[in-house]
Structures are given as structure tokens and as C-alpha cells.
Structure 1
Amino acid sequence: MDTTRRGAPRGSGRPLVLGHRGASADAPENTLAAFRLAMEQGADGVELDVWRCASGEVVVFHDEDASRIAGAPVRVRDATLAQLRALDVGAHAGPRFRGERIPLLAEVLDALPGAVVNVELKSRGRDLALARATAAVVAAARAEDRVVVSSFDYRLVAAFRAAAPHLPVGLLFEHEHPWRLRTALAARLLRAEAVHPERVLVTPARAAAWRARGLAVNVWTVDAPEEIERLVDLGATAIISNVPGRTREVVRRRTGR
């Protein structure tokens, strides 16, 4: 296994554009259809969410249960892979997507060769085994050079850091919850390569300070052209967007790349 220490993925002269749960404005979120569409629209990669289901596999899904997406109150962590695969997670987005299933992280990495993938670890009840399982999936896919792993739960980030100390991690935070002290401490203790702030938190002073510390600044979730332009000008490393095609066009106009 290659244990060379990796930095967070970066673009050349411009921010990376990552489809938030894929091209989620145009396709059902966190499905292979949404991820493939994001790449077709010109994204550099995708952002996605993972849980460990009851049978141990790392599955790609955002919510704790499937009520919103599939109309079934099935808790992801309590269901087996077979039970989750029985759910239709595309029909709610229209007939075109009927029959879309919850994918495995391994399937997404295989379906998007070369794409940057931001993997957000999800858990309730401190399922630290999710971090170890995710590290194993990334290694098996030989995707170390194109993955960054993040979470709002810094215990999961620490568990991933322990399982794969050579891979880059990012710290997620939002304005509604205290973040300054805990994120600053975690960045030092965990030797994080990236911060993943909510867009409203990215001021010129903060962006400059993060960059000065060598941190990648991967910002979510950004759809408005004026906000995209502002973040390009502030030197964001990646822009995570529901509309990656439109975002890529704005970045191209602003940077010429």
C-alpha cells in the first residue's frame, strides 16, 4: 500500500467545481445518475455522503432514513444492503430516474475514474467503524490521489486519520453551531489538510488566514453566480454546488480556465 502523505485535491489556477450530491438540481441526489451528470456538465468531481449499513457496506446516502427520498421510514444504519437496494431513490425526481438505487461508495469511485470525490462521513451513535471501512474502500479503489474525507463529527475525522494517516481530511462547519475554537483546535490536532466552511463564513480575512496555514478552502453550498465569483476572487480551493455546470461556466469566465 502506498502510504505517501497526500494533500487535498487542488485545481490549477482556479477552484475545483464539485457537484453537491452530484448534479442534484437536475437529478436525484447521491445517485449514480446525479454523479455522472455532474461530470457531463463539466464538474471536476462530486461531493457525497456515506453511512455504514447494518450489513457493513459503505453506502452513499444523505439522510438518516429514507423517508424524504424513497417514502420509506427505513433507517440506513439499521438496514442491510439488500433492504436498501430494494428502495427506489430516483422515482421522486421523475419517470426518467425511476429505478435508481442507493450506490456503494466503491461503485461511485469505479464509475467516476479520475474524478475528485469529497466523501462526507455520516453517523449517529459514534459508528467509528465507518471511518475504517471508508479507508478500506478508498484503498481498494486506488483512489487515494483524488479523495478528501470530511465530517461535521470530528471524532469520525480522527478515526479516519488513524485508519489512513496518509490521506487528506477536511473539517466541516456551519454558522449555526459554535465552530471557531473547536475547528482551530481540531485542525492542529488532526493535522487537517482542508477546511469545509459554509459559504456565509468565508470572509476575505478568514480565507486569507486559512490559505496562509496551507489549508485547502472547500466551500459549500454555492449556486448563485455572484457568490461563485466572490469565492473565486477569495481564492477558494473548491466550490461545492448543486448546479455544477453553471458553476463551472462562471469559474471559466472569471478565471479564463
Structure 2
Amino acid sequence: MNPPILFGHRGARGHAQENTIESFELALRLGATGLETDAWLTRDGVVVLDHDGEVGSRLRRRSISDVDAKDLPSHIPSLAELCRMLGRAHLSIDIKDPLAFSEVCSTLEEEGCSPEKIWLCHPDLEIVSSWRPQTRANLVHSTRYSKIAPQFESHAATLSSRGITAFNMPASEWSGGLIALYHRFSILCFAWNVQYTEVAKPLVSAGVDALYGDYVDRLVDVLHTD
């Protein structure tokens, strides 16, 4: 993709409380062309956005799956709320609980989100592959170099054959050669943990298709400087 998608990681995490509507709004104001978040399913079947999937005090932590949506802390938004303020931005969702997948898809459809701008991510290739018949959204295999090496060509071929759109790895693990290899199989290359312009610039030059970072302003600066 040219230019690459600039995903605000959990919104504008470097400037505001992560995974809140305020953080998502700030990321868009700073120039993000996409938002990244984490999805969980409440006890009463509502998709909500939180990284750890637990609430409560340190001594009385509870899984979100054991709590009704109305009883969650007020800063935790629903996926529906995020969809309503998304506008034309892309949305990358780490589906932390695979049981949430069907409700995630239903919510996205109900809110009128464009499938081509939705990116559904999971680290387990078999799980993300199983989603293909159920959605027109983009699917992303998110994992690490050590989980794939040295079978990158085989991995790229598998992603292509299974209809997986993109491969997401930490920024430090990408190289120009790997990006070129995945592009040969028409697989997009996404890089996360891009926190500094010095990291982002060579990735953009090598043709990476999306950057995820806590500081959206730094990502934007990379695209507007020579």
C-alpha cells in the first residue's frame, strides 16, 4: 500500500489512556489513517475493547467474559461505539477471545463498516484461517519471526492459499528481503511497535504496508519528510 496505513496503537496510547474513545479520537486528529484495538466478549454478549481482558482491583481481578457490559468501568468502550466514530479510517482488531469472532462480525456489519477497511488479527494461523469462510474482512496473521523461521516462503504460500491478506510482525523483525518475499505472494506486510521515526523510515522505504505505533504524530512525520 502506498502510502502505508498508519494505525494508532490502542488509539493514541502515547498521549492518552489506551483503548478509550478519547484516545481513538485523538489518534484520528493527529493523522492516523487507521485505529488498532483489542476485542473481548462480555458475559451478556457485547464486544468491548480492552487489552488485558480483566477488570477490578489487583486482588479481585475478573475476566471481562464474567462481567455484563453495564457493569464494566465507564472508560471501556464497545466496538459499536468505536465503529460510529471511525469515519473512513481503517480498523485493526486483535480478537483476543476467539469466541468473540462471530459477534465482532455481526457488530461490524450492523454498524455499516466497510469490509475492505477491517483487519481481523490473531496469532494462531489455524484460528485465523478458519475465519475466512465467515467474513469478507481482511484477515491478518500476527506472530513473530521465531515462530516462522526459516520457512518464510512456505508461510507466505500458505497465507496466500488460505485467503489471509496480511502478515504482521514486530518492526525490528522485518527486512527488505522479507517484505519483497511476501509481496511476491501478494501478502501485505504490517509492522507493529513502530515508536520512532528512525524505525519507521527504513520500513516505509522497503515497502511495508502498515505501521502500528503509540505516537501517531511520529508516524505522520515520516510520510511528510524526505
The TM-score, its normalising length taken from structure 1, stands at 0.79
Cα separation, 1, equivalents of 2:185 and 2:163: 11
Determine if contact 1:148/1:168 at 8 Å carries over to the other structure.
yes
2:207 to 235, 248, 256: 235
Give the aligned partner of residue 179 of structure 1. Answer: 148
State whether structure 2 residue 33 is matched by structure 1 residue 64.
no
Q: Percent identity?
A: 22
Give the aligned partner of residue 70 of structure 2. Answer: 82
Amino acid in the other structure paired with 1:34: S
Determine if contact 2:189/2:209 at 8 Å carries over to the other structure.
yes
Cα separation, 2, equivalents of 1:21 and 1:170: 17
Superposition CA RMSD, Å:
2.2
Cα separation, 2, equivalents of 1:134 and 1:225: 33
Determine if contact 2:190/2:211 at 8 Å carries over to the other structure.
yes
Give the aligned partner of residue 134 of structure 1. Answer: 104
State whether structure 2 residue 161 is matched by structure 1 residue 160.
no
In the alignment of these two chains, the number of paired residues is 222
Cα separation, 1, equivalents of 2:85 and 2:122: 23
Cα separation, 2, equivalents of 1:200 and 1:170: 18
Q: Deviations over 1:179-228 (max 9, x none)?
A: 34598175145320111111122011111101111111111010111111
Give the aligned partner of residue 86 of structure 2. Answer: 112
**Corresponding residue SS for 1:117:** strand
Amino acid in the other structure paired with 1:215: I
If each structure's strand is expressed as a fraction of its own residues, which one has the higher value?
2
Determine if contact 1:132/1:160 at 8 Å carries over to the other structure.
no
Offset at 1:119?
1.0
Amino acid in the other structure paired with 1:178: K
Ranges in structure 1 where 5+ consecutive residues have no aligned partner: 1-9, 89-100
Q: Deviations over 1:70-123 (max 9, x none)?
A: 996121122111121xx25xxxxxxxxxxxx21111110111211110111102
Give the aligned partner of residue 97 of structure 1. Answer: none
State whether structure 2 residue 22 is matched by structure 1 residue 33.
yes
- C-alpha distance 210-133 of structure 1, shift in aligned 2 (>3 A): same
Offset at 1:239?
0.5
Offset at 1:234?
0.9
**Corresponding residue SS for 2:147:** coil
State whether structure 2 residue 91 is matched by structure 1 residue 102.
no
Amino acid in the other structure paired with 2:195: D
Amino acid in the other structure paired with 1:135: C
Cα separation, 1, equivalents of 2:217 and 2:123: 27
Offset at 1:28?
0.5
Amino acid in the other structure paired with 1:171: H
Give the aligned partner of residue 139 of structure 2. Answer: 169
1:52 to 41, 64, 81: 41
Ranges in structure 2 where 5+ consecutive residues have no aligned partner: none
Determine if contact 1:132/1:159 at 8 Å carries over to the other structure.
no
Determine if contact 1:131/1:159 at 8 Å carries over to the other structure.
no
The TM-score, its normalising length taken from structure 2, stands at 0.90
| Aligned counterparts, 1:183-194, within 5 A | 184=155, 187-188=159-160, 190-194=162-166
**Corresponding residue SS for 1:38:** helix
